Amino acid sequence: MTSLRITRTPRARIRGLGVATAAAGLLVSLLAAGPATATPDPGDSSAPGSVSAQQAAEARSAIQSGEIPGVDEVVHSKNIEHLVNIPKDALPGTNSDLAFQGKYAFAGNYDGFRIFDISNPRAPRTVAQVLCPGSQNDISVSGNLVFLSTDSSRSDNSCASTTQPATEKSSWEGMKIFDISDITNPRYVAAVETSCGSHTHTLVPKRKDVYVYVSSYSPNAAFPDCQPPHDGISVIKVPRKAPEKAAIVNFPVLFPGEGPDGGGNPGGPTNPGVSKTTGCHDITVLPGKDLAAGACMGDGILFDIADPENPKVIDQVQDNVNFAFWHSATFNQKADKVVFTDELGGGGAATCNAVVGPNRGADGIYDIVGKGKKRKLVFRSYFKIPRHQADTENCVAHNGSLIPVKGKDLMVQAWYQGGVSVWDFTDSAKPREIAYFERGPLSATTMSTGGAWSAYYYNGYIYSNDIAKGFDVLKISDRRTDPAKRIRMDGLNVQTQPDYFDDFDR
């Protein structure tokens, strides 16, 4: 057993040694394009977005005293090994989400996407890079199709588009679809425009078709293609053999309500510091159980997807004390718990410090109690990394996945500049961290956005897409997580959660 040593100090840190190893990428496929910008997550407007002279001085002092790692210094617990880092190459934008299929990892970037051959996790090899701006470029893969979200107003739906105001009717946002029959040369085959764009998306795969749940938000009366109220999701049906026929088949309203603002959490001033619900940020589905969980700005929801074109809400919860922005959701294997994340500060603020405390910008763990249509989400506890970060580090709960171990609820999760955390929520009321990896701040004097956007477990390794530093591969060696190495998967879209043991235990 490898133990995790936690030093209880005002800026609790576990110091370790690590070396970042660079590997060159091979540019294979490029398309002409222009820069991309994104619809930001509203988060909590009261969270600090800049650094004062005093905060910068405190960060420098903490580094000098050893409480905070040095700029770009790699630290980790003894049970994690940093195998390799692959820096950005042809795509200079913000790195975003990850998906997996076979021996390949698909890495989103605000300027497009990159495909890695990870057959040797210690030496990933780039096989394709596609330049196609349209943040966030949230990415998924199913069969020969790659799906890419565009949540920035563009001049058209091509990969050569440029930025254009959302107030112009001709502007385009939505879903793009690529054919990867030739993995070295992805081919752009379809586009579907969706209301308010596509901040994220979730696949509900069927044999002949793939359904895509598109999450978007922040409508505005001045935006012709993003009018309020916007209290639902776009459902796209994509025929596998004819993806060019992809089309919206429904827009189910998840938060019905009267008036121009619709339903859902009203946000401030009724609920100060809480985002008004105008759609969903992210949805996770359990196709094997016809169940989904939605993180929808000011609300968390549980819904039935037995009819994928017509999802039905089962339960709806709010946390108007500690949650500012419901960001993402993860089921446990038994589907009797959901972990919701709160993206306090929109991912651009320092919220992992003593001032913010342990319950905000954290995970919320909810048990699912009851059966069928009477199931309820019941709050149990919060979890937040136990190491305070510098005021120059953007840090908050972000994307993660289960580590599949029977009888345990284990998760790996990205925390931006808070790094990568492995934690145990088998006891819903007493979650605890069991491993971690992180870098020191990008800067000791200014707020610079960076850190792990996504951290996922796939076939024995942890893969992380760092906003600024590139693609990281980690290996955890711990008796609590080692059984997961026996689970071999053919692919993984984290927001389409598999039944790890029934489907993949071979």
Q: What rounded mean pLDDT belongs to the chain?
A: 90
| Amino acid, res. 156 | D
pLDDT value for 172: 98
pLDDT value for 4: 35
Alpha-carbon distance 84 to 349, whole Å?
28
Contacts of residue 371, defined as CB under 8 A and 6 or more positions apart, other chains included, come to none
Burial code (b: 16+ CB inside 10 Å, e: under 16) for 59-95 equals bbebbeeebbbebebbbbbebbbbbbbbebbbbebbb
Question: CA nearest 478: which of 506, 452, 457?
Answer: 457
Alpha-carbon distance 221 to 210, whole Å?
32
Q: What is the pLDDT of residues 105-146, one digit of tens each?
A: 999 999 999 999 999 999 999 999 999 999 999 999 999 999
- What H or E segment, with its residue span, contains residue 56? helix 53-65
Alpha-carbon distance 480 to 130, whole Å?
38
Which position has the higher pLDDT, 29 or 461?
A: 461
pLDDT value for 258: 72
Contacts of residue 377, defined as CB under 8 A and 6 or more positions apart, other chains included, come to 300, 302, 315, 317, 338, 366, 367, 368
Count the helices and strands in the chain (H runs, E runs). 2, 30
pLDDT value for 262: 77
Alpha-carbon distance 257 to 255, whole Å?
6
pLDDT value for 36: 55
pLDDT value for 501: 87
Contacts of residue 199, defined as CB under 8 A and 6 or more positions apart, other chains included, come to 39, 136, 138, 149, 151, 215, 216, 217, 281, 282
Question: CA nearest 442: which of 405, 478, 468?
Answer: 468
Mean per-residue pLDDT for 238-246? 98
Alpha-carbon distance 79 to 16, whole Å?
11
| For residue 363, pLDDT beyond 80 | yes
Q: Which strand ranges, in their side-by-side order, compose the sheet holding 400-403?
A: 74-76, 432-439, 420-424, 410-414, 400-403
Q: State both tokens at 188.
A: 């752009």
pLDDT value for 42: 52
Cβ neighbours of 306 (radius 10 Å): 10
CB-count exposure of residue 220 (10 Å: 0-12, 13-18, 19+): middle
pLDDT value for 295: 98
| Range with the poorest average pLDDT among 57-66, 146-155, 210-219, 492-501 | 57-66
| For residue 506, pLDDT beyond 90 | no
Mean per-residue pLDDT for 237-248? 98
DSSP string, 391-407: TTB-B---BEEEE--TT
| For residue 485, pLDDT beyond 90 | yes
Q: What is the pLDDT of residues 373-420, one digit of tens each?
A: 999 999 999 999 999 999 999 999 999 999 999 999 999 999 999 999
| For residue 31, pLDDT beyond 50 | no
Q: What is the pTM of this model?
A: 0.91
Q: What is the pLDDT of residues 170-229, one digit of tens each?
A: 999 999 999 999 999 999 999 999 999 999 999 999 999 999 999 999 999 999 999 999
pLDDT value for 483: 98
| Amino acid, res. 457 | Y
